[in-house]
Amino acid sequence: MIPSDTYYIRSPTAAMLIGKSIRTVHNWMENGCIEGKRIPYPDIPAGFAQLINLPSMQPLIPFPMTDAIMESISKADNYNYEEMVKVGLLFYEVKRFKIAADWFTCAAKHNNNEAMLLLSDFFIRGLGVKQSHAIGLQWLGKSSENGNMRATEKINNLLRLLNS
Amino acid sequence: MSIYDNTIFVSLNTAAMLTGKSTRTIRSWLETGIAKGGESLNDSIEKNLVVDLRSINQHIPVELTPTLIDSIDKSEAGISEETTNIAIAFSKSHADKIAIQWFELAAKQGNNDAMNWLWDIYYNGYGVEPDFAVAIQWLGKAAKHGSLFAQATVEGLRKTDAYLREQKKDEYNAIVEDIKRLVKSGDNDQK
């Protein structure tokens, strides 16, 4: 088992977890609110990247982060889109819809059809986003186009009833 | 005015879309003399091939009326309504595949009428296999771009959706259970 203090994530991921900007994450890191470290990163102009210590963020997260959850976030940080959906669902469970919507959007934009279906539902019900049936239907269609059977079924049901 | 009174040049892309061929085909037509045309003079940086509309007339499945020629001219200038008009002309002549290309171009230019047509085409399967997933996306786009007709349909779907939700509360709860199970599957992996 990896000791939990080795979970480090990139600052954009940290920003998504707390629903704030990356700048805020960096500020909070500088004033000690959350812990982090700098690693050399020659590919970007600053020359270094900030990594955030995930356990130190616990006070800002609305649910207890078990090792399994930190593992999940860590995988999401490494561009695992299924894990992103899971992280979004954690926020959905505690009714933090805006943060959940951000995670779903991120996964949906990388062709995760489950995230597309969830996002469609968020737009139709206006959870964490400005309610828009037009956008909700577009995500529903995209989800079906990307092979989500539940989305396909939902569309078929909707359109079947439209003509009756 | 008939098409034979004046020489009308269109771009390679337009020629390809009017005939339903690829630009490569049009290029080879120009090379072999099947189509007449040449390089446009007003663009010195890039070689801009143009095609004489008269020379490809017989390969275009609609009649090139003065109105249509006018539409082609304006569509090339980026006027999306005119692009839709071209698409409708092809649709009326049952050249559905070509019509779809023009509708898609008009939609890309932001014309909500074209988006509505595309919803109709994919929903009913005019010239294509019906594809509800694609259809519903066009409907959403049309509504978002201000088409009142699409907005009314979306409103109808909203009511249907609410009705289905009421009917299928149990199933919906099952989905919620599903979500909870998904959330917890992370924990299970660990055990």
Give this complex's ipTM.
Answer: 0.76
By C-alpha distance, the chain A residue nearest B183 is A86
The answer to whether B135 contacts chain A (CB < 8 Å) is yes
- Cβ contacts of B187 within 8 Å, gap of 6 or more: A66, A68
Q: Indicate which of A82, A95, A122, A133 best probes the interface with B, i.e. most B CBs within 10 Å of its own CB.
A: A133
pLDDT at A164: 62
- Asked whether residue B3 carries a pLDDT value surpassing 60, the answer given is no
Distance of CA B87 to the CA centre of its chain: 8
- Asked whether residue B140 carries a pLDDT value surpassing 80, the answer given is yes
pLDDT at B89: 95
Given a cut of 70, the residues of chain A with pLDDT beneath it are 1-5, 163-164
C-beta atoms of A68 and B190 within 8 A: yes
Residue B136: which pLDDT band, with cuts at 50, 70 and 90? very high
Q: Which of A89, A132, A159 sits opposite B183 (nearest CB)?
A: A89
Nearest-neighbour CA in chain B from A25: distance (Å) = 26
pLDDT at B1: 41
- Asked whether residue B21 carries a pLDDT value surpassing 90, the answer given is yes
Strand partners, A8: A53
Residue B170: which pLDDT band, with cuts at 50, 70 and 90? confident
pLDDT at A163: 67
- Cβ contacts of A91 within 8 Å, gap of 6 or more: A62, A97, A99, A100, A103
Cα torsion A128, A132, A133, A139 to 10°: value is -60
What digits encode the pLDDT tens for the residues A125-134? 999 999 999 9
Q: Indicate which of A158, A160, A162 best probes the interface with B, i.e. most B CBs within 10 Å of its own CB.
A: A158
Element (H, E) at A53: strand A48-53
- Cβ contacts of B59 within 8 Å, gap of 6 or more: B19, B21
pLDDT at A110: 95
Measured CA to CA, the distance from residue B65 to residue B78 in angstroms comes to 20
Nearest-neighbour CA in chain A from B161: distance (Å) = 7
What digits encode the pLDDT tens for the residues B47-62? 678 899 888 999 999 9
C-beta atoms of B144 and A71 within 8 A: no
Give the distance between the most distant pair of CA atoms in chain A: 63
Please work out, in degrees rounded to the nearest 5, the angle formed at the alpha carbon of residue B29 by the alpha carbons of B27 and B30. Answer: 65
pLDDT at A73: 95
pTM here is: 0.80
- Asked whether residue B180 carries a pLDDT value surpassing 80, the answer given is no
Please, which residues 112-131 of chain B have a Cβ atom closer than 8 Å to chain A? 123
The answer to whether B156 contacts chain A (CB < 8 Å) is yes
C-beta atoms of A158 and B190 within 8 A: no
Packing angle of the helix pair A97-108, A11-18 (nearest 10 deg): 140
Q: For residue B45, give the DSSP letter.
A: S
The answer to whether A66 contacts chain B (CB < 8 Å) is yes
